[in-house]
């Protein structure tokens, strides 16, 4: 049997292999208990935020305010400032994807294989976000990267628009 330390090391190796084999970071263990990435640790606070995204499922895009509201509802005593910091950190750790909206707003979503290579239609008034897929956008990204000798990481399109309720 492995000791818990060996098990953690093994898991880090597996995660590293997974991230090498795919251009997207795969969350192999949903709560990645105590896993370090780039020297950053998944503290209980960070896990709580990550857990929230895992529970609502992929395809959901939450603002920092919405994350804060939901966490306060399930008893967590946490400030909005901490949520902002935590979200930024989870983005740096490759666990969340940050969507920049107009007027400096941000929304966050879980990075997973299911949601790889999708695009966003974003209402500039209420922030409603819908996902769509389009192979031509991916192809255009691939061609542009190749033409300029860049190594492709991802191609995604954010379309700013006004939703039916806000027109």
Interface residue list for Zn ion (CB under 5 A): 109, 123, 125-126, 128, 131, 163, 166
Three-point CA angle 93, 91, 41, nearest 5°? 35
Closest distance of CB 100 from Zn ion, Å: 13
Count CB-CB contacts under 10 A for residue 59.
14
Residue 12 or 124: the one with the smaller Cβ distance to Zn ion is: 124
Closest distance of CB 109 from Zn ion, Å: 5
Compute the chain's Rg from CA coordinates: 18
Closest distance of CB 97 from Zn ion, Å: 7
Residue 88 or 130: the one with the smaller Cβ distance to Zn ion is: 130
Task: Note the Cα 77 to chain centre separation in Å.
Answer: 23
Residue 54 or 76: the one with the smaller Cβ distance to Zn ion is: 54
Residue 8 or 59: the one with the smaller Cβ distance to Zn ion is: 59
Closest distance of CB 85 from Zn ion, Å: 22
């Amino acid at each position: 049997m492995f000791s818990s330390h060996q098990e953690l090391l093994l898991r880090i190796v597996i995660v590293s292999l997974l991230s090498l084999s795919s251009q997207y970071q795969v969350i192999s263990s949903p709560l990645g208990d105590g896993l370090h990435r780039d020297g950053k640790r998944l503290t209980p606070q960070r896990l709580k935020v990550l857990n929230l995204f895992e529970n609502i499922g992929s395809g959901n895009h939450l603002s920092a305010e919405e994350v804060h509201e939901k966490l306060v509802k399930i008893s967590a005593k946490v400030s909005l400032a901490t949520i902002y910091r935590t979200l930024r950190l989870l983005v740096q750790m490759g666990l969340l994807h940050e969507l920049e909206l107009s007027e400096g707003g941000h929304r966050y979503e879980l990075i997973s294989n299911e949601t790889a290579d999708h695009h966003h239609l974003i209402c500039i008034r209420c922030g409603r976000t819908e996902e769509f897929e389009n192979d031509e956008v991916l192809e255009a990204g691939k061609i542009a990267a190749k033409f300029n000798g860049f190594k492709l990481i991802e191609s995604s399109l954010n379309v700013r628009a006004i939703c039916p309720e806000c027109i």
